């Protein structure tokens, strides 16, 4: 290896800058860095990409902007810093914490639309938590918010229908909402089994599926 022909364009006296440059170059090429350093750098790249999409969605996504507006009107404004990009296990794309924070699972989103659906979904949970007295340990409460979040976000392609100027409550849409709501309630630590999750979703289905707040005004 000829080290002179590939010298970096830095003042050799500034050895710290040189070291930083060397480190950066090593990380980008994957040479000379430890696996831990490469992994850390990889996660940081994913976090930055997630933050970029997050900022764009918070400013330009109709459904995200709409939910943020209604959360603010309801007395629960969501600052950008409460929506956190973080690494998660691969089974999930996002999460909501009743303390008022949303997690977006960095690296999980193949496209911005998927992140938009997930962020809208979590913001609907946040809206429910803000407006209604939701007890997340109560399976029926949880089921209700999951039905709404899955139906009103793009998870089951509801927003796309709205964009076309009509709302079609197809059987497929309902089946999708039901399936996803049952999965989420099943994951509640207070849920003993699949049957209990199904029961909770069925019991609140009518009233919660038809409760489209705050989207009512679109009609
Ligand atoms: Zn959910």
CA 216/CA 51 separation, integer angstroms: 30
CA of 34 from ligand 1 middle (Å) equals: 38
Which residues does residue 94 pair with via DSSP β-bridges, in sequence order? 104
- pLDDT category, 9, cuts 50, 70, 90? very low
**Mean pLDDT score of the chain, rounded to an integer?**
85
CA of 149 from ligand 1 middle (Å) equals: 6
SS3 labels along the chain: CCCCCCCCCCCCCCHHHHHHHHHHHHHHHCCCCCHHHHHHHHHHHHHHHHHHHHHHHHHHCHHHHHHHHHHHHCCCCCCHHHEEEECCCCCCCEEEECCCEEEEECCCCCCHHHHHHHHHHHHHHHHHHHHCCCCCCCHHHHHHHHHHHHHHCHHHCHHHHHHCCCCCCCHHHHHHHHHHHHHHHHCCCCCCCHHHHHHHHHHHHHHHHCCCCCHHHHC
Whether residue 204 contacts residue 144, with contact meaning beta carbons closer than 8 Å, is answered with yes
Would you call 122 a catalytic residue per the annotation? yes
Instruction: Calculate Rg over the CA atoms of the chain.
Output: 22
Q: How far separated are the first and last CA of the chain, in Å rounded?
A: 69
Instruction: Give the environment of ion ligand 1: residues with CB less than 5 A.
Output: 146, 149, 184
CA of 217 from ligand 1 middle (Å) equals: 23
Active-site entry in 116, 122, 146, 198 = 122
Q: Which of 104, 100, 156 is nearest to 128 (CA)?
A: 100
* Maximum Cα interatomic distance, the chain, rounded to a whole number of Å: 74
Q: What is the pTM of this model?
A: 0.80
* Phi-psi category of residue 34: left, alpha or beta, with phi > 0 → left and psi -120 to 50 → alpha: beta
- pLDDT category, 16, cuts 50, 70, 90? confident
CA 201/CA 120 separation, integer angstroms: 21
- pLDDT category, 219, cuts 50, 70, 90? very low
CA of 59 from ligand 1 middle (Å) equals: 23
Whether residue 188 contacts residue 140, with contact meaning beta carbons closer than 8 Å, is answered with no
pLDDT given for residue 201 in this prediction = 98
- pLDDT category, 39, cuts 50, 70, 90? confident
pLDDT in tens, 195-212: 999 999 999 999 999 999
CA of 193 from ligand 1 middle (Å) equals: 18
CA 150/CA 148 separation, integer angstroms: 6
pLDDT at 75 over 60: yes
């Amino acid at each position: 290896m000829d080290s002179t022909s590939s010298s970096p364009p830095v003042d050799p006296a500034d050895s710290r800058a040189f070291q930083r440059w060397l480190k950066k170059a090593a990380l980008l090429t994957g040479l000379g860095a430890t696996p831990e350093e490469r992994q850390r750098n990889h996660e940081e790249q994913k976090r930055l990409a997630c933050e970029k999409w997050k900022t764009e969605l918070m400013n330009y996504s109709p459904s995200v902007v709409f939910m943020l507006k209604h959360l603010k009107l309801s007395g629960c404004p969501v600052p950008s810093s409460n929506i956190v990009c973080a690494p998660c296990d691969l089974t999930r794309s996002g999460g909501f914490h009743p303390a008022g924070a949303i997690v977006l699972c960095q690296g999980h989103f193949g496209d911005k639309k998927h992140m938009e659906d997930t962020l809208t979904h979590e913001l609907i949970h946040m809206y429910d938590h803000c407006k209604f007295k939701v007890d997340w340990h109560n399976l029926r409460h949880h089921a209700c918010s999951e039905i709404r979040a899955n139906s009103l976000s793009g998870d089951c392609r509801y927003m796309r229908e709205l964009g076309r100027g009509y709302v079609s409550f197809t059987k497929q849409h309902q089946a999708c909402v039901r399936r996803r709501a049952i999965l989420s309630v099943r994951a509640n630590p207070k849920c003993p089994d699949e049957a209990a999750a199904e029961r909770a979703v069925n019991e609140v289905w009518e009233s919660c599926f038809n409760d489209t707040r705050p989207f009512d005004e679109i009609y």
